[in-house]
Amino acid sequence: MACSAADVAKAVRAAAAVVAAHRDELVQLDRAIGDGDHGENLNRGFTAVVSKLDESTPDTPGAVLKVVATTLISKVGGAAGPLYGTAFLRAATALGDADSLGPAEVVTALRAALGGIVARGKAELGDKTMVDALDPAVMAADGQDSVASVLEAAATAAAQGADSTVPLVARKGRASYLGERSAGHLDPGARSTALLLRSFADSAAGS
């Protein structure tokens, strides 16, 4: 089943609720190896996104994602705002004016989002960042035959990718200042990426 702009907006609202529910967890993860603001910043950003969508729902999926992008960039501090904002903006641009999304379009959006994060953060697989969740998600999503299966595969791979960051030594971001002491902790950006993809998968499965 193809996803309309209304479907995407509904999924974004659900994701905002998931971010709110996991705010404290993300704060604690970031406090261990960062500056402790990831959960608060992301929650503030998605709360603002929902307020924007309350004002009006854009008429294409790409336009919905552009609202997410511009709001996160303007409202979220730290690294999360520019990184997630760039991810959603690249996804929106890749989708163009398409009225609805099938599995191929969702994979295209995910791949564009990954490209944006890599370009913005200069991180690669194994650096202990959100790339460790999103890169395997894109790989797993490719070749699936429905929006729901694309997002389910992506979410499962992202969760495994996030867990894989625990033993890694951070090579990017504030956590990299800790050197070897960053090992043994789950990367908060990888965790939030996995949470968002799980939420999007659950929305797709329920629609």
Exposure string of 99-130, with b = 16+ CB inside 10 Å and e = fewer, is ebbbbebbbbbbbbbbbbbbebbebeeebbbb
Q: Measured at the alpha carbon of residue 85, what is the angle toward residues 94 and 78, in degrees to the nearest 5?
A: 155
In three-state secondary structure terms, 76 is: coil
State how far the Cα of 156 lies from the Cα of 49, in Å rounded to an integer: 25
**What's residue 147's pLDDT?**
96
Q: Which residue has the tokens 């854009």?
A: 58
State how far the Cα of 74 lies from the Cα of 87, in Å rounded to an integer: 14
State how far the Cα of 128 lies from the Cα of 123, in Å rounded to an integer: 9
**What's residue 88's pLDDT?**
97
Helix intervals (H) in 34-144: 38-55, 61-75, 80-95, 103-121, 131-141
**What's residue 12's pLDDT?**
98
State how far the Cα of 202 lies from the Cα of 199, in Å rounded to an integer: 5
Contact 40, 30 (CB under 8 A): no
Helix intervals (H) in 123-170: 131-141, 147-163
pTM of this prediction? 0.95
pLDDT tens, residue order, the chain (207 aa):
789 999 999 999 999 999 999 999 999 999 998 889 999 999 999 999 999 999 988 999 999 999 999 999 998 877 788 999 999 999 999 999 999 999 999 999 999 999 999 999 899 999 999 999 999 999 999 999 999 999 999 999 999 999 999 999 899 888 888 888 889 999 999 999 999 999 999 999 986
Exposure string of 169-192, with b = 16+ CB inside 10 Å and e = fewer, is bbebbebeeeeeebbebbbbbbbb
**What's residue 77's pLDDT?**
74
